[in-house]
Chains A and B, each alone.
Chain A
Amino acid sequence: MSVCGADTVKSPFGTVWRELLFWGRTDGLDWIFVFKIILAAFLAMWISMQLRLDQPRTAMMTAVIVMQQQTGLVLVKSIYRIGATIAGILVGLLLLGLFAQEPVLYVLGLAVWVGLCTAGSAFYRNFRSYGCVLAGYSAAMMGQFSIPEPTAFFSIASTRLTEITLGILCAGVVSDVVFPRRLSDAITSNVQNRYREFIAFIRASLSGAAGRAELDSMRLRLVGNVLSLESIRSNAVLEDPEVRGRDLRLRKLNSEFMAVTTTFSSFQHLLKRLTKNATPAGLALTGLWESFGETVVTKGEIPANADAAHQAARRIAAFRAVLGRRIEEVRKNITADGDPQTALDFATAVELLHRFLRELHAYTQTYATLPNAENEPNTPDDIDFSVRTDPVVALLSGGRAFVGIIVIGWFWIASAWPYGTSALTFVAIASALFASAPDPSRNTNRMFIGHLAGLVAAFAYKFLVMPDMDGFALLCASMLPFLMVGLYLRTRPGLVDIGFGYTVFFIQMTNPSNTMQFNPVDFINDGCGVLVGVVVAGVLYRTLIPVSGSWLKRRLARQIRHQVIMACFAPLAGLRNRFESGTRDLLHKQAAVQKIADEQDRRLLALMFSVVEIGRAVIHLRQDAGSLRMPQPLADSVQDVLSSTALFFRRPTATFHDAALDRVTSAIKTIRLETESAAACACPRNVLNRMLASLHLIRTALLDEDVLVAVTADSPSANLLGVIPHAA
């Protein structure tokens, strides 16, 4: 036996082992999840058959629907599911009690309720939205089962509640006990990914290699990341006492991250404006910036864990220490030619660079201390995440669901269609479920495909396979492959709706229970009713105020612009965080798909970033102005800047643009005079300089063509591009 021989024997095993490990970390996790769902579903089915409940399928479906990758999500979703089901059942009871003999009034009442719930689901986020969806269609579902025999309502309602609770318990126990995955792990990986993505973004925009579209989509991903951490964080609180301990730090991390991305994009914009005409300040700054890149970003690996982050923080601190000296060296050359504009450009950019480094350092440090168990002693001020939703849009989705129910209900009553109630239920489900989705018509398409596939599979299974199966074990074994297909599709990102529709519908139509009924005609009629419901919902999404329509986008643009007005006038306490999170939330609502479909989407993104930039500068200006006792003329001119900027963003016309620009320029002059005059006020120089930088940032942003196009593009007034030459 030679060493060589041993090697050749050993290495294939090593390769296989490595491959297996890799598979286990990627696809393997998905398969574990699939089998966890199946286990929970079969457990639920078995217990409800033992307890002789009427419809074990409800418990199975609940287990399938509630099951999530992470335990914390299962718990939160369960709580909302129970609460919403109770609410829906109570409303269903009320409707049936009042109008059991009056189908017209019943449909009308149901349409109002489902409409309200859909509006709620479009208005809220995450599981609260899911709760609203469920409260709506639970009422519809109660009707589906009780209209044939209204007197059985109470027993149907209590059985349904029992089955749902059973399904939830099974899902909760299985997800927590069998190969549990914690939300805190999801948080860790989210935070790490975000750091990596942010550094990659800095790197890409530094090198200039990435195109505009690529940078835009990276930005959008960063925005999405902020919101997904917020959503995980708010759900993890239920799961893990440890996450509760770190809650404050996570919120701080999110807030700091938003700050640092904004500063970076302001700096980047300023740099772009300066280097476009090859100003001396631009050249000098590019040099400084590149040296930053060499010392911090490109050196070694991107920090993936706390230790590396500590080191990165130290490197950033070291760079900050030498930055002052290097700036002084460069400044001499710049101020030599004595152009005040260049000096101001340079000062502003330096201020931004300092701020960026300070924020990046703070962010990296928070990131590095995240795994530490102990709580932070000093609580930062208000860093709650604020969400912004357009109530009008939510009400419109509610109206759409209302119309859907009325249409189907009218058809049901007019044609005395026996399976109309199935269609009614599913139009309620489909129009509520996707009301807050970015592209609901695509979702309903996929749901339709999933349902159709589920119907075919259920037909084949129920009438060809099931009659031959004897006993529970064989029943499970024969269902297993059918469920596996659908549930695996559910773990694939693009196919979630298809997989979901397939699995749920397969269980719904197979309807395993203690005493089976085999009636092919009834089966097909019922299935067709459901498909009609889904199709009607899809057609309504497409035709009735479609989400991708330009009216909605114009409205969104107006709301984003409105954020600047908020930055100008709202109370200052906690304003920065409220402003930044609100603006991001607004954009994310529209662009949750993380892709930029057309020119209008791109303009929205540009608008959001310019709004964030200007708003942030305004907030800094207000903070600095508030910390000083300014002489009257200065205070007046700052006030003028605020009101004229707000006016421009309220009504973006050429006149207001000129006015805002004039006010900003004159405020800059006033501060200049104040700092240069011998009898200067007692205001500290550095604060005045910061205010100067903020004002200059607002001015350059107002003069920027991209910003102008973005701000004015969706306003009713004409394009402002003609204004620029004389304004500049």
Chain B
Amino acid sequence: MPREFALLDALVPTLFLAFLVSVVSHTLLDRIMGRCGIYRHVWHPPLFRLSVFVCIFGAFGLLVLR
């Protein structure tokens, strides 16, 4: 995939798109996990959520930049 794309003649990094996609998918996943009560069994929920987000973003980022 290209590293940058032109949005109205402005160059935008593709990684930014990956970031947006990860935000959306993380929000969905977060809702589902909250509904299932997974966070009640986690030691530090915010840290866990951040780590999940980093994993998702990392995966998408690798997909884009590979």
Contacts and interface: CB of A to CB of B under 8 A. Distances in A.
Interface of A: 71, 173, 176-177, 180, 241
A197 B9 CA distance: 61
B58 interface: no
Interface in B16-40: 34
B50 A241 contact: no
Nearest to A158: B10
The 5 A-B pairs with the shortest beta carbon distances in the complex, nearest first, are A176-B46, A177-B46, A177-B47, A241-B34, A180-B46
Contacts of A173: 50
Contacts of A177: 44, 46-47, 50
Contacts of B49: 176
A173 B50 CA distance: 8
- Candidate in A71, A177, A180 with the most chain B CB atoms within 10 angstroms: A177
A241 B44 CA distance: 16
A176 B47 CA distance: 8
7 contacts: A71-B46, A173-B50, A176-B46, A176-B49, A176-B50, A177-B50, A241-B34
Contacts of A71: 46
A180 B39 CA distance: 15
Nearest to B47: A177
Nearest to A180: B46
B24 to A, nearest CB: 16
B17 to A, nearest CB: 15
Interface of B: 34, 44, 46-47, 49-50
Prevailing SS type, chain B contact patch: helix
Nearest to B44: A177
A176 to B, nearest CB: 4
Contacts of A180: 46
Contacts of A241: 34
- Candidate in B34, B44, B46, B47 with the most chain A CB atoms within 10 angstroms: B46
Prevailing SS type, chain A contact patch: helix
Contacts of B34: 241
A176 B45 CA distance: 9
Contacts of A176: 46, 49-50
A71 B34 CA distance: 17
A440 B5 CA distance: 48
Nearest to B31: A241
A177 B52 CA distance: 13
Nearest to A154: B10
A173 B44 CA distance: 13
A241 B37 CA distance: 11
A176 B49 CA distance: 10
A71 B44 CA distance: 14
Contacts of B44: 177
A180 B46 CA distance: 8
A177 to B, nearest CB: 5
A86 to B, nearest CB: 15
Given A71-B46, A177-B46, 4 more contacts: A176-B46, A176-B49, A177-B47, A241-B34
A180 B49 CA distance: 13
- Candidate in B44, B47, B49 with the most chain A CB atoms within 10 angstroms: B47
B7 to A, nearest CB: 12
Contacts of B47: 177
A177 B43 CA distance: 12
B60 to A, nearest CB: 17
B48 to A, nearest CB: 10
Contacts of B46: 71, 176-177, 180
A241 B36 CA distance: 12
A164 to B, nearest CB: 15
A269 B33 CA distance: 54
A177 B53 CA distance: 13
Nearest to B34: A241
A140 B20 CA distance: 30
A180 B44 CA distance: 9
B42 to A, nearest CB: 13
B12 to A, nearest CB: 10
Nearest to B48: A177
A176 B48 CA distance: 11
Nearest to B35: A241
Nearest to B46: A176
Nearest to B39: A241
A241 B35 CA distance: 9
B3 to A, nearest CB: 15
B54 to A, nearest CB: 10
Nearest to A173: B50
Nearest to A182: B46
A241 B50 CA distance: 17
A298 B61 CA distance: 64
Nearest to B51: A177
A173 B46 CA distance: 9
B28 to A, nearest CB: 14
Nearest to B10: A158
A440 B17 CA distance: 44
A140 to B, nearest CB: 25
Nearest to A240: B34
A157 to B, nearest CB: 12
A27 B53 CA distance: 33
Nearest to A176: B46
A177 B46 CA distance: 5
A71 B49 CA distance: 14
A388 to B, nearest CB: 36
A428 to B, nearest CB: 28
Contacts of B50: 173, 176-177
A198 to B, nearest CB: 33
A173 B47 CA distance: 9
A343 B63 CA distance: 84
A675 B44 CA distance: 67
A177 B47 CA distance: 5
B21 to A, nearest CB: 17
A155 to B, nearest CB: 11
A169 to B, nearest CB: 10
A33 to B, nearest CB: 16
A189 to B, nearest CB: 20
